[in-house]
Amino acid sequence: MRIAMVGTGYVGLVSGACFSDFGHHVSCVDKDEAKIAALERGVMPIFEPGLAQLVERNVAGGRLSFTTDLALAVGGAEAVFIAVGTPSRRGDGHADLSHVFAATEEIARALRGPAVVVTKSTVPVGTGDEVERIIRETAPDATAWIVSNPEFLREGAAIEDFKRPDRIVVGTDDERAAELMREIYRPLYLNKAPLMITGRRTAELIKYAANAFLATKITFINEIADLCEIVGADVQDVSRGIGLDNRIGPKFLHAGPGYGGSCFPKDTVALLKTAEDHQSPLRIVESVVKVNDLRKRAMGRKVIQALGGDARGKTVALLGLTFKPNTDDMRDAPSIAIVQALQDAGARVRGYDPEGVEQARPLMPEVEFAPDPYKAAEGADAVVLVTEWDVLRALDLKRLAAIMAQSVFIDLRNIYPAEEMENAGFRWHGVGRTPSA
């Protein structure tokens, strides 16, 4: 099948590359000429494990191509996916759909034959109706079926998620469109991935509801972690104890500095705005957003308290800056608020991240970036483990303690056992656990 993927951001590029790996012929479109030229040279705009190799293989096989010419890509396509950005709109928090609607209008003018037009971008309920209206008004003679097909990709594991999904959600009431979508995803049938056909508005809401629920689990266990520290309980045991209940499950119950990234922050806010517009408030999600925003700054205060309540003139090394491992994404990363809190308190901050430094530089202009974790920690009064990259899971603790001015370690991901840290000479502070003496 011939597919046009409009947008070569995270979702568009991963989806286009994976579809081409299934044997479809995919043309990825973007207005950014420099990005397209880089992709044609094999240079990826994002860090995602395995993506460069996947793109290279399918470009070489003639199944994947890149272009700035939307009309050329869409004209011969049987399926057109809209995978452009939907960031929070400045000023009110609503999802900014300007790119979606602009792409829709261009697609409508470029359609030459029957095609499904599929919204892959995360969009509020009712967006598909507006996409359909634009296409009908712009190209009244076009034969196009408008479908919602939300993505559920985790950054750092996106290719695996695409090829072995928990579910594939397709929102359409038209059987012809449903059949075309089944054909597109047919290669996944061997993996027995459930394909769920539902109404278009339902599909749009499934994506937001899923992200809001996961954000709620994260925020819940973070608040329980705070209570654990006060009453002398261990949040890791609490997490395990409740996660063994099949009704709850263990995933997203790891206490930490709060959620960030490209999805949870903007999607929870966009869902709240949709609920407000329809006079159906979501009080739980409101609390989740508020608690998570406050938590990130609170982690900075946690570091200051570990330094005796005064960080002025002291050096703090942050290990891991991206919002999660295996990505270079700094969007709404907890490290941003932590750095700001430490600098406001007069601390000097050094940072290390295996992949995120270039993205972090403009967000943290006064931070000194180090080439490895030990250079970051040299002469530091405290080390803060913010993001649990594999390279940070087995640090040489004796070496680390020897090069620091003070042996203070704040483990915001609870990677290291307290006893091991104490044996290495550290004053250790975890999240939701009793600190060492």
Radius of gyration of the chain (CA): 24
263 is catalytic: yes
* CATH number of the domain located at residue range(s) 243-429 in this protein: 3.40.50.720
Which CATH number is 2-198's, of 3.40.50.720, 3.40.190.80, 3.40.50.880, 3.40.190.170? 3.40.50.720
* pLDDT recorded at residue 434: 87
- The pLDDT confidence band at residue 183, using thresholds 50, 70 and 90, is very high
Nearest to 239 by CA among 388, 428, 414, 420: 414
* pLDDT recorded at residue 320: 98
- The pLDDT confidence band at residue 436, using thresholds 50, 70 and 90, is confident
* Helix H or strand E encompassing 195: strand 195-198
User: Is residue 190's pLDDT more than 90?
Assistant: no
- What b/e string do you get for 177-192 counting C-beta neighbours within 10 Å, with b at 16 or more? bbebbeebbebbeeee
User: Is residue 192's pLDDT more than 80?
Assistant: no
Express as a percent the part of the chain with pLDDT over 90.
Answer: 96
- Tell me the C-alpha to C-alpha distance, in Å, between residue 256 and each of 80, 218, 219, 319, 356: 39, 8, 9, 14, 19
Pairwise pLDDT comparison (437 vs 155), residue with the higher score: 155
Q: Where are the domains of the chain?
A: 2-198, 243-429
Burial (CB < 10 A; 0-12, 13-18, 19+), residue 246, is exposed
Question: In 10 A of CB 165, how many CB atoms?
Answer: 18
- Within this chain, domains 2-198 and 243-429 share the same CATH topology: yes
- Residues 296-338: tens digit of each pLDDT: 999 999 999 999 999 999 999 999 999 999 999 999 999 999 9
18, 28, 228, 263: the catalytic one is 263
Tell me the average pLDDT across 413-425: 95
* pLDDT recorded at residue 191: 67
User: Is residue 410's pLDDT more than 70?
Assistant: yes
Identity of residue 176: R
User: Is residue 437's pLDDT more than 70?
Assistant: no
* Helix H or strand E encompassing 368: strand 368-369
Tell me the average pLDDT across 25-33: 97
Distance, CA of 40 to CA of 34 (rounded, Å): 10
- Residues 349-406: tens digit of each pLDDT: 999 999 999 999 999 999 999 999 999 999 999 999 999 999 999 999 999 999 999 9
Residues forming a β-bridge with 6: 29, 82
257: which residues sit within 8 A by CB, 6+ positions away? 295, 296, 299, 334, 338, 386, 412, 413, 431
Express as a percent the part of the chain with pLDDT over 70.
Answer: 100
- The pLDDT confidence band at residue 189, using thresholds 50, 70 and 90, is confident
Distance, CA of 42 to CA of 56 (rounded, Å): 7
Nearest to 406 by CA among 387, 429, 372: 429
Q: Which two tokens stand for residue 179?
A: 């059949």
121: which residues sit within 8 A by CB, 6+ positions away? 7, 11, 82, 83, 84, 85, 86, 99, 100
Residues forming a β-bridge with 2: 25
